[in-house]
Amino acid sequence: MDPMTLHTPEAVCVTGEDHDCGATSDELHAEAELTRWIAEHCPQTGHDFYHRTTLCAESSAWQ
Protein backbone atom coordinates (compact mmCIF):
# COMPACT_ATOMS: atom_id res chain seq x y z
CA MET A 1 0.00 0.00 0.00
CA ASP A 2 1.18 3.45 -0.82
CA PRO A 3 1.48 5.27 2.51
CA MET A 4 0.11 8.39 0.83
CA THR A 5 -3.27 6.72 0.50
CA LEU A 6 -3.51 6.54 4.28
CA HIS A 7 -4.11 10.26 4.35
CA THR A 8 -7.73 11.02 3.65
CA PRO A 9 -8.29 14.75 3.91
CA GLU A 10 -11.92 15.70 4.18
CA ALA A 11 -13.71 19.02 4.46
CA VAL A 12 -17.10 19.80 5.93
CA CYS A 13 -18.89 23.05 5.25
CA VAL A 14 -19.90 24.48 8.62
CA THR A 15 -21.31 27.74 7.31
CA GLY A 16 -24.81 28.47 8.53
CA GLU A 17 -26.87 30.60 10.88
CA ASP A 18 -29.06 28.03 12.61
CA HIS A 19 -27.32 24.91 11.51
CA ASP A 20 -24.30 23.93 9.54
CA CYS A 21 -24.58 23.50 5.81
CA GLY A 22 -23.16 20.04 6.31
CA ALA A 23 -21.88 19.56 2.79
CA THR A 24 -18.89 17.27 2.79
CA SER A 25 -16.21 16.68 0.24
CA ASP A 26 -16.14 12.98 1.09
CA GLU A 27 -12.76 11.44 1.62
CA LEU A 28 -10.18 12.69 -0.82
CA HIS A 29 -6.64 11.64 -1.45
CA ALA A 30 -4.89 14.98 -1.65
CA GLU A 31 -5.07 18.39 -0.05
CA ALA A 32 -5.22 19.85 -3.56
CA GLU A 33 -8.49 18.00 -4.26
CA LEU A 34 -9.90 19.29 -1.01
CA THR A 35 -8.92 22.83 -1.89
CA ARG A 36 -10.57 22.40 -5.28
CA TRP A 37 -13.79 21.15 -3.68
CA ILE A 38 -13.89 24.25 -1.48
CA ALA A 39 -13.15 26.43 -4.50
CA GLU A 40 -16.22 24.96 -6.21
CA HIS A 41 -18.58 24.96 -3.23
CA CYS A 42 -17.79 28.50 -2.09
CA PRO A 43 -18.88 30.48 -5.19
CA GLN A 44 -21.99 28.27 -5.64
CA THR A 45 -23.27 28.86 -2.13
CA GLY A 46 -21.38 31.83 -0.72
CA HIS A 47 -20.24 29.59 2.12
CA ASP A 48 -16.79 30.26 3.43
CA PHE A 49 -16.44 28.37 6.71
CA TYR A 50 -15.02 24.89 6.50
CA HIS A 51 -13.79 22.37 8.96
CA ARG A 52 -10.95 20.31 7.62
CA THR A 53 -10.00 16.93 8.90
CA THR A 54 -7.08 14.86 7.86
CA LEU A 55 -7.48 11.31 8.97
CA CYS A 56 -4.17 9.62 9.33
CA ALA A 57 -3.42 6.00 10.07
CA GLU A 58 -0.53 7.17 12.21
CA SER A 59 -2.83 7.63 15.17
CA SER A 60 -4.26 4.13 15.12
CA ALA A 61 -2.66 0.88 16.15
CA TRP A 62 -1.11 -0.39 12.97
CA GLN A 63 2.08 -1.66 14.53
Query: d(Cα 30, Cα 21) in Å, to the nearest integer?
Result: 23
The verdict on 21 binding Zn ion (CB under 5 A) reads yes
Q: Which of 12, 14, 23, 38 binds Zn ion (CB under 5 A)?
A: 23
Minimum CB distance to Zn ion smaller for 45 or for 54:
45
Long-range residue pairs from 40-45, CB within 8 A, at least 24 positions apart, any chain = 41/13, 45/13, 45/15, 45/21
The stretch among 1-9, 27-35, 40-48, 53-61 that binds Zn ion (CB under 5 A) is 40-48
Using DSSP bridges, classify how beta strands 8-13 and 50-55 pair: parallel, antiparallel or unpaired.
antiparallel
The verdict on 47 binding Zn ion (CB under 5 A) reads yes
Residues making contact with Zn ion (CB under 5 A): 13, 21, 23, 45, 47
